[in-house]
Amino acid sequence: MTKASIPVGEVFERLLGPSSTVSITAYDGSGTGPADAPVAIEVRSPLALDYLMSSPGDLGLARAYVAGAIEVTGDLYTALHALAAQVDQLTPADRVWMLRKLGPAHLRRVQPPAEELPNRFKRSLSGLRHSKERDSSAISNHYDVSNRFYELVLGPSMAYTCAVFPDDGATLEQAQEHKFDLVCRKLGLKPGMRLLDVGCGWGGMVAHAVRHYGVEALGVTLSREQAQWAQKNIVALGLADRAEIRHLDYRDVTETDFDAISSIGLTEHIGARNVPGYFRFLAAKLKPHGRLLNHCITNPDSSVAHRSRGFIDRYVFPDGELEAPGELMTAMHDAGLEVRHSENLREHYATTLAGWCANLDEHWDEAVGEAGAGRSRVWALYLAACRLAFERREIELHQILGVRTDNQGGMGMPLRPDWGV
């Protein structure tokens, strides 16, 4: 067994600082931090240091955690919250010191966990970025895991997008229902209208709009598992005469003249260079006065890189890209859609993620049985890290409402928003 040149605990004390609220114990018997800390991190093997030193940043930490070389006792979100505050303050001198103290042996290349996806170059061999074939593969990797696994994490709503909490006492299920209803109201849905829901997931928006607003709806998703689950649910709810879920790329929808389009959580997957074409395509599917509601994760400003990196790109959303809200609004306007309303729901997504984290913790053993220990650890880390990112305003969530005006500029909307909160 390769040993560090100094006690591992001393390295982490430099990393976390002497006033850390997290305790560390290491395989060499060393440790740091208060014994009564609410969160304890165990460095189980030298493999953890190999990952941390050979892949600095969140990718190295993720590899060590997913592989089980690092274990967390207590709330993972609390651990990340404590770590983030300290890691953000690390200087280049700190990193050089760690390398000198640990020795070059820990710079060796080690095999990443089985759950990790190929890097971008290797992915490019299977097709161009955001081609239909490569997008289908990326979506399948993330969503075609186990519908039961998603039921355990998401809860009965099977809604895998930001909920909207009407008040502090609302449950996750109530907030997801409120989100779907808010989208319906923003779209001005009425009986007999036709709705297209792109990136429909497990069909929650389609089912809500048909049941409560009397519309006819078509939902499309690139995930075969989602489509099968959603269509079966549509039949079970007795909605098959007015609703349909297809396993289909949104770019292959042939129908047109829709009264409304909802896109809830799709834009993150299409790529920044495709955003203008995406809005042009959807705008062409709308009738005059038809509305589009685009709901997606956004960058806090346009200087942030579009492409995801590190842990998120290799383990969660391969080829994912985010845009700033201003970039999305510009693309909507250029596509002929007049932006009428925008709303940032950042805090709501942090609360949503807290609910998903609690669900995964509660059903951990069954989740591992469905998806495996490695994949479950990926999800635990991903949900907790995203919750922290929304709280720190590293990412946001915007709902942007656009309308296709008629040839005289008419919009067919009331002078003031009538959808409430």
Bridge pairing between strands 70-73 and 243-247: unpaired
Inside any domain, residue 127: no
Name the band, by pLDDT with cuts 50, 70 and 90, for residue 141: low
Domain assignment present for residue 117? The answer is: no
How many other C-beta atoms are found inside a 10 Å radius of the C-beta of residue 109? 8
Domain presence at residue 393: yes
Indicate if 38 and 169 belong to the same structural domain. no
State residue 364's pLDDT score.
97
Residue 203 sits at the vertex; the CA angle it makes with 151 and 404, to the nearest 5 degrees, is 145
What is d(CA 164, CA 421) in angstroms, rounded to the nearest whole number? 9
Amino acid at 198: V
| Residue 123 near residue 319, CB atoms below 8 Å | yes
Contacting residues for 119 by C-beta, under 8 A, at least 6 apart: 314
Task: Provide the domain count of the chain.
Answer: 2
144 pLDDT band, cuts 50/70/90, is: low
Whether residue 289 has pLDDT greater than 50: yes
Do residues 149 and 89 both lie within one domain?
no
Asked, for residue 126, whether it belongs to a domain, the answer is: no
Sheet holding 22-26, edge to edge: 31-32, 22-26, 39-43, 70-73
CATH of the domain at 18: 3.30.1050
The per-residue pLDDT for 106 is: 73
Q: What is the pLDDT of residues 110-121, one digit of tens each?
A: 898 988 877 665
Q: Quick check: 146 pLDDT over 90?
A: no
Domain span holding position 100: 8-107
The percentage of residues in the chain with a pLDDT greater than 70, rounded to a whole number, is: 88
Q: What is the mean pLDDT of residues 399-412?
A: 96
- Residue 102 shares a structural domain with residue 59: yes
Phi, psi (deg, nearest 5) at residue 419: -100, 0
Query: How confident is the model at residue 51, as a pLDDT?
Result: 87
Same domain, 144 and 100: no
Tell me the pLDDT tens digit for each residue of 293-325. 999 999 999 999 898 888 888 888 787 899 999
Judgement on whether residues 84 and 231 belong to the same structural domain of the protein: no
- Say whether both 309 and 221 belong to one domain: yes
Work out the burial of residue 264: count CB atoms within 10 Å of its CB; fewer than 13 is exposed, 13-18 middle, 19 or more buried: buried
Give the closest residue to 344 by CA, choosing from 303, 305, 298.
298
pLDDT of residue 2: 47
Same domain, 103 and 140: no
Residue type, 174: Q
Inside any domain, residue 310: yes
Q: How far apart are CA 339 and CA 332, in angstroms?
A: 7
- Asked, for residue 3, whether it belongs to a domain, the answer is no
pLDDT above 90 for 33: no
Same domain for 140 and 103, yes or no, is: no
Q: Which amino acid is at 113?
A: P
The amino acid sitting at 2 is T
Identify the pLDDT of residue 49: 86
Give per-residue pLDDT as tens, 179-223.
Answer: 999 999 999 999 999 999 999 999 999 999 999 999 999 999 999
Report the distance separating Cα 35 and Cα 24, nearest Å.
Answer: 9
Asked if residue 421 belongs to a domain, the reply is: no
Cβ count within 10 A of residue 10: 16
**Do 219 and 320 reside in the same domain of the chain?**
yes
Final residue belonging to a domain, choices 92, 107, 122 = 107
> For the residues 342-361, what does the mean pLDDT come to?
98
| Six token digits for residue 12 | 């982490």
Q: What does the pLDDT read at residue 1? A: 44
The CATH number that applies at residue 270 is: 3.40.50.150
Task: Write down which residue in 65, 92, 107 finishes a domain.
Answer: 107
Confidence of residue 139 (pLDDT cuts 50, 70, 90): low
Tokens of 96: 């050089």
Query: What gap in Å lies between CA 383 and CA 377, rounded to an integer?
Result: 10
* pLDDT, greater one: 105 or 347: 347
Same domain, 97 and 148: no
Residue 288's H or E segment, with its range, is strand 286-298
Both 168 and 293 in one domain: the answer is yes
Within its chain, how far is the Cα of 1 from the centroid? 38
Q: How confident is the model at residue 268 (pLDDT cuts 50, 70, 90)?
A: very high
Inside any domain, residue 420: no
pLDDT of residue 143 exceeding 60, the answer is no
User: 155 and 100: one domain?
Assistant: no
In 67-185, the DSSP E strands lie at: 70-73
Q: How confident is the model at residue 22 (pLDDT cuts 50, 70, 90)?
A: confident
Short-list 217, 275, 283, 224, CA closest to 248: 224
